[in-house]
Amino acid sequence: MEADTGTAGVAAAAKSRPDAVILDLRLPDISGEEVLATLKTLPGTFEVPVIIVSVRARKEVSAVAHALGAASYITKPWAEGEIEAAVDAALKLKRAVPGSGTALPALKP
């Protein structure tokens, strides 16, 4: 699944509930941080690991993304295989530790 805007990405993720999301922070309509925060509050997407990609290499930006619930933060240009490795690690952690992809506490049945 691919989306051209943050709004479209949130709607698509909420509808399809992907295994993971790769999110660029620079979007034409809303900020990537806003998309991340929204995904981490929606019932269908709060457990979905989000891997951030950005040209912004400042540690403060990465810290904010992680505080909002990002599983990983990758700076552009990335090394070959870096995104795949981040997605694999996030999915392994999600399977091993239920609730690990969340910004919210894991819900118990």
Q: How many residues does the chain have?
A: 109
> How many Å apart are CA 102 and CA 105, to the nearest integer?
7
* Closest of 73, 33, 35, 39 to residue 57, by C-alpha: 73
Enumerate residues 6+ apart whose C-beta is below 8 A from 11.
Answer: 3
Question: What's the pLDDT at 104?
Answer: 42
* Predicted confidence (pLDDT) at residue 91 exceeds the cutoff of 80: yes
**Predicted confidence (pLDDT) per residue in 65-85, tens digit:** 989 999 999 999 999 999 999
Is the CATH number of domain 6-96 3.30.420.40? no
Q: What is the pTM of this model?
A: 0.83
